[in-house]
Homo-oligomer: A and B are copies of this chain.
Amino acid sequence: MKLSGVFTTAIVLMAAAMTANAADDTKFIPGKQLTLIGKAAPTPDRYARIDTIKYDGFTDYQRQYLNQTPAGMALVFNTDSERILANIDYKRRVTGYNTTNIAMAGCDLYIKRDGKWMYAGSGLPSDKGEAVTLVSDMTPGMKECLLYLPLRSIIDEIYVGVDPDATIEAAPNPFRHKIVFWGSSFTHGTSANRSGMAYPLQLQRATGFDVRALGMAGNSKLQQSYARMLADTDADAFVFDAFSNPSAKEIRERFTDFVSTIRAKHPKTPLIFQQTIYRGGRNFNTKTDKAESEKMALSEEMVRKAMETDPNIYLIYPVTDTDGYSCTDKIHPSDLGYYNWMNSIRQPILDILSGYGITAE
């Protein structure tokens, strides 16, 4: 009986040790050892989007916050680990009211299977520094992984956790044809439930295009500061959600100069302008409905006029819904809306780009 008691104790201790090991022996690899994709241009801070020293005219909010978020970026790597965790050193951890915190501050993992990017797991590292398990108990073998970074937090570093004996290595960028998106909170992914559901990133996975998504929530107003940055950006095509944030007055005053600044350095690159979407708040707010309607008419007029003399400018029409069904907060679509958005622009963009020899995978 005595011996049996010792054995029982030993088994309990072993079980406890195994459990502890499962949690504690994770090997964490900093993102800087892996491949970072989705950046439009180099920046001093690895996970920032825009070099704010290089350009004049940004507001403090844009310089210190929006331009610094890693929205649109992802790490790509290969690993044979049977589980994948993530942890983040936040410079600024931002939470939200109209967006899940998984999208605001967490990450979103895809793994390639049969040539297709499949959802693998998403989650939010704790604000106490604890990692989140994105997926576990996978089959053995090397896997190609795509890990989207948070939409609205600023990060110092992200760490990918794997089994202690697993291989993990930087993978080549799986995407091709540099398509630069620039736009509003819609392009940023506000009210998406996880970062990979921002519509440009859905399009990235659906087409294989090397999308660089510069969503600037509330701050996409055809400014010269952003036009100069975009002009400096290497791109096979630009896709703009340029009419969602500015007022009609701003569109009238700024649109032509915005195009001119980009055209000075990209004389023939396709510039695809997206009309803004129907906002759910228009259903009953007559003022919003009138203002949006007038703004959409003006946007269309401005683009159509530019198209008369520039054969490489295009106008396309994203549709999320026509009755606010997918609206979260009078303005922003849910994943339902962003899924519809992506589907509504996919073929029009493919049709346009095929004229430039740019085709999907």
Contact = CB atoms under 8 A, between A and B. Distances in A.
Contacts of A325: 119, 339
A336 B336 CA distance: 4
A324 interface: yes
A281 interface: yes
A328 B280 contact: no
A309 interface: no
A170 to B, nearest CB: 21
Nearest to A126: B97
Contacts of A324: 118-119
A138 B283 CA distance: 9
B197 A334 contact: yes
Interface in A98-156: 98-102, 106, 111, 113, 118-124, 135-139
B102 A328 contact: yes
A120 B288 CA distance: 12
A193 B328 contact: yes
A326 interface: yes
A329 interface: yes
A280 B134 CA distance: 11
B326 A335 contact: yes
A286 interface: yes
Contacts of A100: 96-100, 191, 328
Nearest to A334: B335
15 contacts: A96-B101, A97-B101, A97-B106, A100-B100, A102-B329, A119-B327, A120-B283, A120-B284, A122-B329, A123-B329, A138-B286, A139-B284, A193-B193, A326-B339, A336-B339
